[in-house]
Amino acid sequence: MPQVDLLVYDVGSTYTKVSAFNRYGTNLTFIGRSQAPTTVENIEIGLFNACHNLARDLQWTEVISSHTLATSSAAGGLRMVAMGYMPRVTAKAAKEVAMSAGARVLEIISHETPVDFRLEVLQEIKPDIILLAGGTDGGDQDSLLENAEVIVNSKTHGVVIIAGNTEAQPKVEEILKRGGILAIRVPNLMPTIHELKVKPAREAIHQEFIRQITRAKGLGRLLEIVSNGRVIPTPGAVLMGTELLALGTHEKEGYGNIIVIDIGGATTDVHSVLPDLANLSKEEAGLVVSNEKQLSYRTVEGNLGLRVSATGIVETVGASGVLAKVGLKGEDLTKEIQVYVQYLEKNTGHISINAKEINFDKALAICAIEIAIKRHAGYFAQSFDPVLGIVPGTPVGRDLRKVQRVIAVGGIFAHSTKEEALVILHKSFANQGISLLPEKPEFVVDHNYQLYTIGAMAEEYPNEALALAENNILKETSKV
């Protein structure tokens, strides 16, 4: 009976995917990939069907693995409320933690928010996670202590991640424990006004994700199947894979600055990892609240997707603007694409069936990527700002000009030829305008959708995962 060395599952909201690998010495070899519809009523059925389809594709009776890993987005992003001291700082820090961990920030609460309203928000949202930030180390403590009391009074069932002033954390933890609230302490996510340390809080959210998915029917079985007792949120796995490619390992050098564009049915995600920023001085990095100079950065455009959020693309660009991306125009086609995107939102599993629909999908993808990447990137200032010392032409925000590689992930790329995929990418980056986009990137298409598997393997098999990415993702590139 055929046996593979490693299976990696991804349980998504629409499809459950599985990829198989064999190990030869220190090398991992890709064997095959398949998928099946995710069965929300019982996740295990989708897992079985995906594996059955893989066996069929490989012409085996079944697939057995000696080691299994998994990622998942089927339970949806964990519901998060962020509480802190200053509104802009808390919002910035919470966004960075949530975006890199796969959680959804539903509300930002600061010291300016009335106490009664804070209580009302927690009781109404019923968050899975409360990120309790506030105060640099040696700074404010009062806001942390006050918010801890509010959390206790809300009688929340969520877990509190204490990520504020380290000097106040023991007192905060004691208040929460007395109130019967589960609390996890992590290093201050903003120890100084120049530093943003996302990773410890991100890892705590990942652990909470594992704990909470066992409440979803069938997902508890996923934890029994995996060999390491972990299920990583899919966006987190993609970011971890991107970080591995950019930074490398102790034994293998990384590939430097990288952007990953992950376009799906509901969202368009952009990840960028810029090792060049790792060694900036505090003065060069500037204030956390006013820059995007951290090593890893992720943005999510929740209204730009090729199925669930297709109408969001047309609403943002306009029907004629979408059509123009593939050289189409006319009143009849304008009406047709508006009807098409409305149909897609109601029929999210639809696969384009003729040349016109394929062209529509390409146009939608080009628009979604162009908007998402420009929102992720910084820009050249167009006016004076004497307060911030900005003059026209000053680079503001995240500077992607030196990025060497852009990796494209998503269903439209997996089901397109290399030539078709590269056309989409070239057109998405054709009109750079004032944005700080890559000057001469190499485009890479992840046809087998392996980047999430690279991230899932990154901790246990870092060198093998990096070599696998080199052979299966990075070896074919196309320069602009």
- Tell me the pLDDT band of 360, cut-offs 50, 70 and 90: very high
Beta bridge partners of 129: 80, 159
Confidence of residue 112 (pLDDT cuts 50, 70, 90): confident
Computed over its alpha carbons, how large is the radius of gyration of the chain?
23
Render pLDDT for 422-470 as a digit per residue (tens, 0 to 9): 999 999 999 999 999 999 899 999 988 899 999 999 989 999 999 999 9
- Rounded to the nearest 10 degrees, the angle between the axes of helix 142-154 and helix 169-178 is 10
d(CA 24, CA 198): 36
Which is nearest to 97 in space by CA: 198, 230, 183? 198
Q: Where is 231: in which H helix or E strand?
A: none
pLDDT at 394: 84
Cα dihedral value 213, 217, 219, 221, nearest 10: 130
Q: Is 320 helix (H, G, I), strand (E, B) or coil?
A: helix
In angstroms, how far is CA 369 from the centroid of its own chain?
Answer: 15
**Residue 88 and residue 79: Cα distance in Å, rounded?**
20
pLDDT for 124-148, tens place per residue? 999 989 999 988 899 889 999 999 9
Average pLDDT estimate for 335-340:
97
Residue 97, C-beta contacts closer than 8 angstroms, at least 6 positions apart = 103, 131, 163, 189, 198, 201, 202, 205
pLDDT of residue 321: 97
26-79 per-position pLDDT tens digit: 789 999 999 998 887 788 899 999 999 999 999 999 999 999 999 987 655 678
Give the three-class secondary structure for 23. strand
Percent of the chain past pLDDT 90, that is, above it, reads 59
Q: What does the pLDDT look like over 76-108, one tens digit per residue?
A: 567 889 898 887 777 677 777 776 666 678 888
Find out whether 397 and 381 touch, Cβ atoms under 8 Å.
no
Q: What is the pLDDT of residue 156?
A: 92
Residue with tokens 């109404």: 124
Greatest C-alpha distance within the chain? 72
Question: Considering Cα of 201, then 202, then 207, then 212, what sign does the dihedral take?
Answer: positive
The predicted model gives 369-373 an average pLDDT of 97
**Residue 387 neighbours by CB under 8 Å, 6+ apart:** none
pLDDT for 75 equals: 57
Please check whether residue 322 is in contact with residue 367, taking contact to mean a CB–CB distance below 8 angstroms. Answer: yes
Got the DSSP string for 266-309?
A: S-EEEEEE-GGGTT--HHHH--GGG---SSEEEEEETT--SSTT
**Better-scored residue on pLDDT, 315 or 414:** 315
Give the contacts of 291 (CB within 8 A, at least 6 positions apart).
285, 397
Task: Work out the mean pLDDT of the chain and round it to a whole number.
Answer: 88
**Burial class of residue 251, CB neighbours in 10 A (0-12, 13-18, 19+):** exposed
Q: 197 versus 402: which is more confidently predicted?
A: 402
3-state secondary structure of 385: strand
Tokens of residue 43, six digits: 């996740």
Decide which of 214 and 439 is more confident. 439
Residue 385: other Cβ atoms inside 10 A: 12
Question: Which residues, at least 6 apart from 71, have a Cβ–Cβ distance to it below 8 Å?
Answer: 8, 9, 10, 11, 231, 232, 233, 234, 236, 237, 452, 455, 456
Q: Which residues contact 245 (CB under 8 A, 6 or more apart)?
A: 254, 255, 258, 273, 407, 454, 466, 469, 473, 474
Sheet strands (E) in 308-396: 379-380, 395-396
Nearest to 72 by CA among 98, 96, 49, 46: 46
CA 274 to chain centre: 16
* pLDDT tens-digit map of 256-313: 999 999 998 888 999 999 998 877 766 666 655 555 778 888 888 888 999 989 999 9
Contacts (Cβ under 8 Å, ≥6 apart) of 298:
99, 100, 235, 239, 269, 270, 271, 272
Q: How confident is the model at residue 338 (pLDDT cuts 50, 70, 90)?
A: very high
Q: Is residue 300 within 8 Å of residue 261, measured between CB atoms? A: no
The rounded percent of the chain whose pLDDT value lies above 70 is 92
8-state DSSP, 441: P
pLDDT of residue 97: 78
